[in-house]
Structure 1
């Protein structure tokens, strides 16, 4: 009888123990003050967040695309300007009233034809469609010069060439400094040297004929020799 009585007490003891320890166990598992499981994991110091890497890649790609667009715009403008130099040079070689102006006009034809031919394959490789006609400004200058003769022609042609070469020299130097394309940069550097030579030549011709020189700032005459 005592053995049976003791056995009958065992289920009650187990139930009591379960009732005593279960709430504590449940509270421990659902304690709102307990740190999140993610905080219990060791930090991985060398792991770079994917979002930061993605942002860096996006910024780099955006910069590359932006520079490529600038290169394409430059190539189109350079081709447009080179075409104008050739056509205006042809006019000067025919209508110039002095041998110096005729010779300079012919040099523009020869040098800018060569520069245009050097730039064309680069433009083609970048998908740039080159212009086939003069823009409005250059066409207006061509028409104006075509209506002039003698010294009036020489003065107008040299004045336009001075301003045009100052502007071109500045734009070519900017492109040479900014482009990241090595082939384009080499071609632009070469063209810059030629344009600088032209600028020095036309400045001298213009001064000899009394052509007013463009201004660089207030009361400063421009004389680009570098």
Structure 2
């Protein structure tokens, strides 16, 4: 039996494999390695940029008003958090990311390839996963020896956990594709 794969299905498969590998690596890091201030600032700012960019895409492509409202909240909240993080990074002479990390760029690409009918579910699935990973990063950073980084992470965690709760609820209300 010969199976034919389309380009979009291969991209989706590669994306799923990347996400799985990324989640495993993040879990291993969470158990074994504290995050440095430099790594935290770079990774957190990249994740924030990705949230903003994918949120803008969701404003254009989502069909559900609830999903669009969530996307606008992501844009607003992550813009504000990145501004605070940028100020903190400047004070500490640390570099922030100027572009979303590669995996989040891949997620955005896959979301762009999805048809209008399944975009909402794809976006919300992405948001659940992205917020789980971001929460793990911020929890590690909350244990940082750098008091300002730890304070920023602790201050931001409740909002991130609320985002995850919102994403899970919206995702659960959307029809399976």
TM range (shorter): 0.7 to 0.9
In the other structure, the counterpart of 1:193 is 158
CA distance in 2, matches of 1:148, 1:125: 41
CA distance in 1, matches of 2:38, 2:58: 30
SS in 1 for 2:99: coil
The Cα of 1:125 is off from its aligned counterpart by: 2.2
Q: Determine which of 197, 202, 205 is the counterpart of 2:167.
A: 202
Is 1:183 matched up with 2:144? no
CA offsets, 1:121-141, max 9 Å, x none?
A: 211222222221222211121
CA-based RMSD: 2.0
CA distance in 2, matches of 1:110, 1:175: 22
**Bigger CA radius of gyration:** 1
The Cα of 1:185 is off from its aligned counterpart by: 2.0
Residue segments in structure 1 that go unaligned for 5+ positions in a row: 1-65, 213-226
**Contact 1:95–1:149 (CA<8 Å) still a contact in 2?**
no
Which 4+ runs in 1 deviate beyond 6 A? none
In the other structure, the counterpart of 1:70 is 36
In the other structure, the counterpart of 1:3 is none
Aligned length: 145
Q: Determine which of 86, 94, 104 is the counterpart of 1:120.
A: 86
Is 1:86 matched up with 2:52? yes
Q: Determine which of 92, 106, 130 is the counterpart of 1:140.
A: 106
**Contact 1:173–1:192 (CA<8 Å) still a contact in 2?**
yes
**Contact 1:93–1:105 (CA<8 Å) still a contact in 2?**
yes
Taking structure 2 as the reference length, the TM-score comes to 0.75
CA distance in 1, matches of 2:124, 2:70: 9
Taking the TM superposition and a 5 Å limit, the aligned residue runs for 1:49-60 are none
CA distance in 1, matches of 2:86, 2:176: 34
Residue segments in structure 2 that go unaligned for 5+ positions in a row: 1-32
CA distance in 1, matches of 2:113, 2:105: 13
The Cα of 1:120 is off from its aligned counterpart by: 0.6
SS in 2 for 1:132: coil
CA distance in 2, matches of 1:90, 1:180: 35
Aligned in 2, Cα 1:172/1:97: closer, same or farther, shift over 3 Å?
Answer: same
The Cα of 1:201 is off from its aligned counterpart by: 0.2
Answer with 136-145 or 72-81: which moved more: 136-145
The Cα of 1:211 is off from its aligned counterpart by: 5.4
